[in-house]
Structure 1
Amino acid sequence: MSQFVGDRAVVLGGSIAGTFSARVLSEFYRDVIVVDRDRVVSVNRPRRGTPHAGHAHGLHARGCLILEELFPNLLRDMLHAKLPVGDLGEQRWYFNARPFRSTRTGLPSVTAQRPVLEEYFRDKVAALPNVTFLERTDVLGFLSTPDGREVTGVRLRSTAADAASAFNLDADLLVDATGRGSRTPVWLEELGYERPVEQRMTIGLAYTTRLYRRRPDMLNGTQFINCIASREFPRGAFYGQVDRTTCIVSLTGILGDHPPIDPGGFLAFARSLPVADVYEQIRHAEPLSDPVCFRFPASVRRHYERLPRLPERLLVLGDAVCSLNPNYSQGMTVAAMEVMALHRHLSRGTPSTIAFMRDVGRIVDRPWFISTTGDLKYNGMAGRRGLTARMGNAYVTRLHHAAAKDPAVTNALMRVAGLIDRPTALMRPRVLLGALRPQKPGTGPAE
């Protein structure tokens, strides 16, 4: 573009949300610097800052469509790299042991290990002429005007052994994308502002993952199998291709019922699922790794959009605002939606912090509702079950049953889960008709 909004933007955090942010900011600032405590450029393995990276990750529906705008030819590049790309509705979805009726939705789905996706996006952004990654650097706090009304930069310190003392980095705009461990609430308080109200949904989730060598007969041409946890069967699983030679299995359990990390216990947990597909696929498969467990104690949302005042030139997005139950595969898509909002604000000039954070709040509302309301279906889950939650979960359960026979219901569910349509789309007459048809009771776990 012919005129920049400012000279320098600084992004804190070089993971997915930070990388997406840098891509957008590169259009509006002469210089964009991404700060991360790890080494991140051209890294394709799990990092200290992303302990969940070795587990199954999906980039679905709206996230894919948005990122095709920011990274043209994304899906073509994924296919060229031999990563699995398919239609979201043509995969094998199970609920209460029933398979959803397969249907072509036109919604793309990419499955890969997170480090592979991160490396792709990060290397694309690092190649931009006005973007620099400042690696192995810790953030110590914000710099501000004397009255605290504007953030003017950030205080940093290199973690290298031969590093000098802390130093200041000035910025016309600062974006916090440091994840759920963000220190912005503390630093806001130091500047005389309120902390955002923090909302938590404790779920006690753990998922244990193992890699297997892919055989030609595995999956029978399907990209993945997703056994969705339900109130009756709260154990779940994702099994899918991640490249030409490798399949990944992630087993999930909640409220302390965690998949074991010993090989025998891992197989026994897979066998306890309400469908036999996952267990039968891996019982004689060749493991490529030991089982690895990641624990996710709670979904967390920080309500910046409710604060009456915030310093200018500071924005927060990604997991630093809202860290969602990973079972819903919404995180990367929500980050993509937030950076597109950032693009809209920057197109009008320097963003107003209050206005941007209110937009982020509106973006987060829908996935937060889907995630937290869905989690309340489990017995033993703490939380208020109002009329909306009780009726909503009962209706969605009927939709899951109906999707076993009705491809129109499958399509509607995929569009809402993929954040294409709002949940109210599930009340359209054609979908409602499918939900109201008589349904048979579910079956039990595989023998």
Structure 2
Amino acid sequence: MDFDVVVLGAGIVGVSAAVHLQARGRRVALIDRRSPGEETSFGNAGLIERSSVVPYGFPRDLGTLFRYARNRSTDLYWDYKALPGYAAWLARFWWESAPRRLDGAARDMLPLISRSVAEHDALIARAGLAELVHARGWMEAFRTPRAFAHAAEDARKAAAEHGLRADVLDGAALRAREPAIGADICGAIHWVDPKSVLDPSALVKGYAALFECDGGRILIGEAATLRASDRTWTVRTEHGAIDAKEVVVALGPWSDLVFEPLGYRIPLRAKRGYHMHYRPARPILSMPVVDSERGYVLAPMRGNRLRLTTGVEIAKRNAPPTSIQLDRVEPLARETFGIGERVDREPWLGMRPCTPDMRPVIGPAMRHRGLWFAFGHNHHGLTLGPVTGRLLAEMMTGEAPFTDPAPYRPDRFR
């Protein structure tokens, strides 16, 4: 039970890091308290989001801020009990979302975003998972002509600047392409370059099976037991303690359970979100669609199901789940997209690991030899998992990184 590297966290980022390190000759153990793909990677909308070249910033227009303050919107719900713990983080997020700083975040994220599909494609081919992925893109749908016109202009600029493909569809063209979409949607932007995953958890499990097939070990263990001794890291698993010279913390929203006891103060917070599956009452959507002015996504999944994923809930990480956001958007989705009866007994609750500057944390820890971080991918963990795994593995094995990792360095928050 002696390894070169222990990767803590078997979500899309941790599994991808393990695969890339193993491909470079490292003996790797992947450790989590659950099986691969069972936490945050389980419940997202399944987008490999090549077109999201601008991060999701904090809205700065007064109308949106007033709507959020009233706490009645469909795209954001906040629990007042959580606000004291989030106040400093939200203030930094707002500051980082100013136009100039948001442009900087977009520039820093572009090298990762631009390679996201290609890095997934490489793993999908190796693991034989092509049946899980559609190359149809996704749509931003709009309810008001003003919002649609503004988004269409932004889409044309983004497509020209970044070499993306985007079709601007009026209501008639949209419904010709997606008959299930109701007349209350006046138009949509079809982003062609992204891909969608019909079962995100199965994709992660498939990558993990590739890792095991090539000799990797997946173990059930508790990351919080991580200890440093001399030049070795030790963590307890169900098969006993294991040792490694290096350790990767890729625990998503739970990464602070490891880095905080080691003395690191990284502003990581979890944005909560929910999903529910429905039977389609109309012809099923051919690709994911976001109701842009209401803040939820409907995505086709395996088994003739539609997955509705909600916007953001600001609440304590261990707070009980609520039905507020689903209760608000379900009637809208039923009218607009024709969702039928619920499939799941209870909504699924997940956590999105977020940093206030909208960049992930990727790289070596400052004060501990052999400690590496890979977390904080905001709303794009599935998108950025494989490309993060590649960048981290290049750094750890002394290869020339395919892009400058400086924007993601852990010490930027000091």
Q: Is the 8 A contact 1:342 1:356 kept in 2?
A: no
**Pair 259,11 (structure 1): closer, same or farther in 2 beyond 3 Å:** closer
Residue type at the aligned position of 1:310: R
Summarize deviations over 1:254-294 as a string: whole Å, max 9, x none.
568x99638xx9465334x5xxx6533335x2321245153
Find the counterpart in structure 1 of residue 310 from structure 2. Answer: 251
**Pair 132,298 (structure 1): closer, same or farther in 2 beyond 3 Å:** closer
Matched, 1:110 2:176: no
- Which of 219, 224, 227 is the equivalent residue of 2:288? 224
Find the counterpart in structure 1 of residue 296 from structure 2. Answer: 237
- Which of 77, 86, 111 is the equivalent residue of 2:129? 77
Secondary structure of the residue aligned to 2:119 is helix
Counterpart Cα distance in 1 of 2:221 and 2:408:
29
Q: Is the 8 A contact 2:300 2:306 kept in 1?
A: yes
- After the TM superposition, which residues 162-177 of structure 1 pair with which residues of structure 2 at under 5 Å, given as runs? 167=241, 169-177=242-250
Matched, 1:279 2:335: yes
Find the counterpart in structure 2 of residue 198 from structure 1. Answer: 266
**Pair 250,170 (structure 1): closer, same or farther in 2 beyond 3 Å:** closer
Residue type at the aligned position of 1:261: S
- Which of 115, 119, 123 is the equivalent residue of 1:66? 119
What percent of counterpart residues are identical? 14
Matched, 1:178 2:240: no
**Pair 292,338 (structure 1): closer, same or farther in 2 beyond 3 Å:** same
Counterpart Cα distance in 2 of 1:308 and 1:157:
23
**Pair 316,246 (structure 1): closer, same or farther in 2 beyond 3 Å:** same
- After the TM superposition, which residues 338-353 of structure 1 pair with which residues of structure 2 at under 5 Å, given as runs? 338-346=388-396, 348=398
Q: Is the 8 A contact 1:173 1:314 kept in 2?
A: yes
Counterpart Cα distance in 1 of 2:297 and 2:206:
23
Counterpart Cα distance in 1 of 2:392 and 2:309:
33
**Pair 93,345 (structure 1): closer, same or farther in 2 beyond 3 Å:** same
Structure 1 portions without partners, runs of 5+: 1-5, 41-45, 146-150, 189-194, 230-234, 369-447
Q: CA deviation at 1:311?
A: 2.1
Summarize deviations over 1:313-338 as a string: whole Å, max 9, x none.
221112xxx252x3xxx122333332
Q: CA deviation at 1:216?
A: 6.2
Q: Is the 8 A contact 1:315 1:356 kept in 2?
A: no
Residue type at the aligned position of 2:141: W
TM-score (norm 1): 0.55
TM-score (norm 2): 0.59
- Which of 9, 13, 21 is the equivalent residue of 1:13? 9
Q: Is the 8 A contact 1:175 1:315 kept in 2?
A: yes
Counterpart Cα distance in 2 of 1:19 and 1:28:
14
Secondary structure of the residue aligned to 2:310 is strand
Counterpart Cα distance in 2 of 1:112 and 1:51:
16
- After the TM superposition, which residues 382-393 of structure 1 pair with which residues of structure 2 at under 5 Å, given as runs? none
Q: Is the 8 A contact 1:196 1:304 kept in 2?
A: no
Summarize deviations over 1:331-376 as a string: whole Å, max 9, x none.
223333322212332453699xxx99746339x99xx9xxxxxxxx
Residue type at the aligned position of 1:225: V
Find the counterpart in structure 2 of residue 292 from structure 1. Answer: 347
Find the counterpart in structure 2 of residue 400 from structure 1. Answer: none
**Pair 96,156 (structure 1): closer, same or farther in 2 beyond 3 Å:** farther
Matched, 1:316 2:373: yes
Q: CA deviation at 1:297?
A: 9.0
Matched, 1:361 2:409: yes
Summarize deviations over 1:17-75 as a string: whole Å, max 9, x none.
111011111123352111122244xxxxx74xx1673353322224222222344367x
Over aligned residues, Cα RMSD in angstroms? 4.2
Secondary structure of the residue aligned to 2:136 is strand
Counterpart Cα distance in 2 of 1:306 and 1:343:
10
Find the counterpart in structure 1 of residue 30 from structure 2. Answer: 34
- Number of aligned residue pairs: give it: 302
Q: Is the 8 A contact 1:214 1:245 kept in 2?
A: yes
Q: Is the 8 A contact 1:207 1:259 kept in 2?
A: no
Q: Is the 8 A contact 1:10 1:32 kept in 2?
A: yes
Q: Is the 8 A contact 2:362 2:405 kept in 1?
A: yes
Counterpart Cα distance in 1 of 2:45 and 2:4:
35
Secondary structure of the residue aligned to 1:86 is coil
**Pair 142,95 (structure 1): closer, same or farther in 2 beyond 3 Å:** farther
Q: Is the 8 A contact 2:377 2:384 kept in 1?
A: no
Q: Is the 8 A contact 2:40 2:351 kept in 1?
A: no
Counterpart Cα distance in 1 of 2:395 and 2:41:
31
Residue type at the aligned position of 2:389: V
Larger Rg: 1
**Pair 228,28 (structure 1): closer, same or farther in 2 beyond 3 Å:** same
Counterpart Cα distance in 2 of 1:261 and 1:34:
34
Find the counterpart in structure 2 of residue 209 from structure 1. Answer: 275
Q: CA deviation at 1:241?
A: 0.5
**Pair 105,186 (structure 1): closer, same or farther in 2 beyond 3 Å:** closer
Secondary structure of the residue aligned to 1:286 is strand
